[in-house]
Amino acid sequence: MLNPHDLRITSYLPQSGHGAGGMTVGLTTSGIIVHHIPSGLGVSCDSERSQHANKEKALQLLTSLMLAIESEKHMLPPPTPYVAGKIMAIKNVRERTGCGLKEAKEAVDHILNLYPDMDIAVVEEFAIPYACGGLR
């Protein structure tokens, strides 16, 4: 599932006991961090003593994490046309007024509360005067 060209694998020195009396000679960089560049996900592993074992474990963890995220995406219902239209109305109000997301959302919600049966395509025209003082 994972394309090796999409991975960035780095090693690090696992931090063990701190303080006086510890031996620091002969420490190896056995900890591994695997980043999946396209998704931005990263997993680290330093539970094993060998770098190779930690790399295998980190790759297994990353694969299972990506599979879990992918299966969760399929469980979510697709947005309804109403929700998609509301998101588009908020985006258009933001662009036309220059206000922030919060103000645009509040303006669209205000119009939808006043006129619940209004067509979502008309809502943005009514919401503009409420968003950040209207057109700029």
DSSP string, 67-121: HHHHHHHHHSPPPPHHHHHHHHHHHHHHHHH---HHHHHHHHHHHHHH-TTS-HH
Examine residue 135 and state whether it is found in any structural domain, yes or no.
Answer: no
Q: Are residues 116 and 68 in the same domain?
A: no
Q: Could you tell me the residue range of the domain that residue 100 belongs to? A: 81-130
Q: What is the pLDDT of residue 33?
A: 93
The CB-side HSE value for 96 (13 A sphere, CA atoms) comes to 19
The dihedrals phi and psi of 43, each to the nearest 5 degrees, come to -135, 140
| Burial label, 61 (beta-carbon count in 10 A; 0-12, 13-18, 19+) | middle
- Helix or strand (DSSP H, E) at 8: strand 7-12
Q: What is the pLDDT of residue 44?
A: 92
Q: Are residues 67 and 100 in the same domain?
A: no
Q: What is the pLDDT of residue 136?
A: 46
Examine residue 121 and state whether it is found in any structural domain, yes or no.
Answer: yes
Q: Which residue has the tokens 């025209």?
A: 125
Domain of 57: which CATH number? Answer: 3.30.160.20
Each residue's pLDDT, cut to its tens digit, for the chain (136 residues) gives: 688 899 999 998 877 655 555 555 556 788 999 999 988 899 999 988 899 999 999 999 999 999 988 888 777 776 677 788 888 999 999 898 888 888 999 999 999 989 888 888 788 888 888 887 654 4
Tell me the C-alpha distance between 85 and 91, whole Å.
Answer: 10
- CA 71, distance to chain mean position in Å, is 16
- CA 100, distance to chain mean position in Å, is 21
Record the pTM. 0.51
